[in-house]
Amino acid sequence: ETGVTQTPRHLVMGMTNKKSLKCEQHLGHNAMYWYKQSAKKPLELMFVYSLEERVENNSVPSRFSPECPNSSHLFLHLHTLQPEDSALYLCASSQVGPRADTQYFGPGTRLTVL
Amino acid sequence: AQSVTQLGSHVSVSEGALVLLRCNYSSSVPPYLFWYVQYPNQGLQLLLKYTSAATLVKGINGFEAEFKKSETSFHLTKPSAHMSDAAEYFCAVSEKETSYDKVIFGPGTSLSVIP
């Protein structure tokens, strides 16, 4: 596997379910990101982990819970979601250094909340 | 704060015609600028990036972009559109936060290529 992978690619869940999204990066990067992409809206940054510490929580509801057990893996735990949470969830990684560098994206998980 | 605007949420071109997607940014410091492409049901793929070296940046798939500081622009061009270029294109600017790279994305431009 190369680059950034995400599983599952598609997920349908009810509002009372609990599920998790997984992201893995094979680039040796030290920062990982979760974004939400809804139809007709700009990309929304949700969470950032740098050196395995959460450094950004962009006013995301508590029904979304991130976890970063090591620099290569990132999870997004979901519980009691709402239909408006249906979106494409994108994971990205980058190498944090003296200047801002490129973020590399995974293919995304298409989430549908019924 | 940095921001990005993309003129035209939807652009249509004929196959073989010039592609021009516009991007303007605001930044108080020399920026890093990016163009990403997103094909249906996929993530974002880096097309090219500007990092204060040459002002004309060449990317993948025949795309290039020119950084014009006086116009605060970073427009994306391709001389001849191909059907496979139909996708969503995002311009982005990055700024250095204390401990990570914050990327501000534009709203995107959807490119259609007409046979």
Local structure of A83: helix, strand or coil: helix
| B18 has a pLDDT exceeding 70 | yes
Calculate mean pLDDT across residues B64-75: 94
| A5 has a pLDDT exceeding 70 | yes
Please check whether residue B63 touches A, CB under 8 A.
no
Residue A37, token pair as written in the block:
């992409």
- Pairing verdict, β A73-79 and A64-70: antiparallel
Contact predicate B32/B94, CB 8 Å: yes
Percentage of chain B modeled with pLDDT above 70: 97
Provide the CA B109 distance to its chain's centre, in angstroms: 9
| B112 has a pLDDT exceeding 80 | yes
DSSP state of A39: T
Contact predicate A80/A21, CB 8 Å: no
Kind and range of the H or E element at A85?
none
Q: Do B90 and A43 touch (CB under 8 A)?
A: yes
Q: What is the least distance, in Å, from the CA of B55 to any CA of chain A?
A: 17
| B103 has a pLDDT exceeding 90 | no
Average pLDDT in chain B: 91
* Total number of residues shown for chain B: 115
Residue A82: its pLDDT value, please?
Answer: 94
* Total number of residues shown for chain A: 114
Classify the C-alpha dihedral B73-B76-B79-B81 as positive or negative: negative
Contact predicate B111/B13, CB 8 Å: yes
Gap between the Cα atoms of B95 and B102, Å rounded: 5
* Mutation for B interface: A33, A58, A105, most B CBs within 10 A: A105
Q: What is the pLDDT of residues A73-109, one digit of tens each?
A: 999 999 999 999 999 999 999 988 776 678 999 999 9
Contact predicate A47/A59, CB 8 Å: no
Nearest to A102 among B34, B96, B98 (CB): B34
Gap between the Cα atoms of B3 and B94, Å rounded: 9
Question: Which residues sit opposite A78 in a β-bridge?
Answer: A19, A64
Please check whether residue B101 touches A, CB under 8 A.
yes
